[in-house]
Amino acid sequence: MILLENKTAVITGGGQGLGLAMARAFVAEGTRVVLGDLDGAKAKEAATSLGGEDVAVGVECDVVDASAVQRLLDTSVERFGSLDVVVNNAGITRDATMRTMTEDDFDQVIAVHLKGCWNGTRLASAIMREQKSGAIVNISSLSGKVGMVGQTNYSAAKAGIVGLTKAAAKEMAHHGVRVNAIQPGLIRSAMTEAMPQKAWDQKMAEIPMQRPGEPDEVAGVALFLASPLSSYMTGTVLEVTGGRFM
């Protein structure tokens, strides 16, 4: 069974890391993908690595700019004929304690994560409601569930994505559009592996499965939420955490 054969997915933050891992999982299941990334060159390079223009397209996109997000979504329809899945994944961090965090640090993180997710969700919904089908997957974080020291901006944004997801799911359910979210925990990446050893060890001690997650393990959940396997699920938040902070 090929889960998403001849479907098209747009993934923001798709030029690297978790976004690219999700794109690989989608392509393996028959999906054409449009990768949006603030770094347009990285988006194009990632698209080439996935199989080129018949399978993947890379587009420069700042998710804070609604017109840029609209162009990204329009690319999916124009190049591949449909918009079936949107994964709102783009994000940044500007970690600091409240005492040292600047207003700009706060505003940037809220804008990219929360407004960016809102732009992707609302603009995709406008297209999907016309075709009476579609799946939107929003990437939150465990930080949005429990709050993390030094992340008042990031934790607030990721908690906001949960509320946005649930509200949008209620608005769009009768149009045949499903909206769900994922909250990853400690996932192995260049960024997390650059943590000080003490911080890494502290986080590992909180994980019952005693290991970090891999990007492919989050990608598998995104694929599930985008596919018919989750056809009766909307407004849900799935934790991919190894059991951390149950």
Residue pLDDT tens, the chain, 246 long: 789 999 999 999 999 999 999 999 999 999 999 999 999 999 999 999 999 999 999 999 999 999 999 999 999 999 999 999 999 999 999 999 999 999 999 999 999 999 999 999 999 999 999 999 999 999 999 999 999 999 999 999 999 999 999 999 999 999 999 999 999 999 998 778 888 899 899 999 999 999 999 999 999 999 999 999 999 999 999 999 999 999
Domain CATH for 163: 3.40.50.720
pTM recorded for the entire structure? 0.97
Q: What is the β-pairing status of strands 237-240 and 32-37?
A: unpaired
> Within a domain: residue 245?
no
- Report the largest interatomic distance among the alpha carbons of the chain, rounded to a whole angstrom: 53
> Within a domain: residue 40?
yes
> Within a domain: residue 1?
no
d(CA 40, CA 213): 28
Per-residue pLDDT at 191: 78
> Within a domain: residue 112?
yes
Give the CB-side neighbour count of residue 42, counting CA atoms within 13 A.
Answer: 13
| Whether residue 154 lies in the annotated active site | yes
Residue 145 is part of which domain span? Answer: 8-240
> Within a domain: residue 199?
yes
| Count of the separate structural domains present in the chain | 1
> Within a domain: residue 82?
yes
Please give the DSSP secondary-structure letter assigned to residue 174: G
> Within a domain: residue 148?
yes
Per-residue pLDDT at 190: 79
Q: Which long-range contacts (CB under 8 A, 24 or more apart) does 98-101 make?
A: 98/152, 101/152, 101/153
> Which is the catalytic residue, given 36, 154, 155, 159?
154
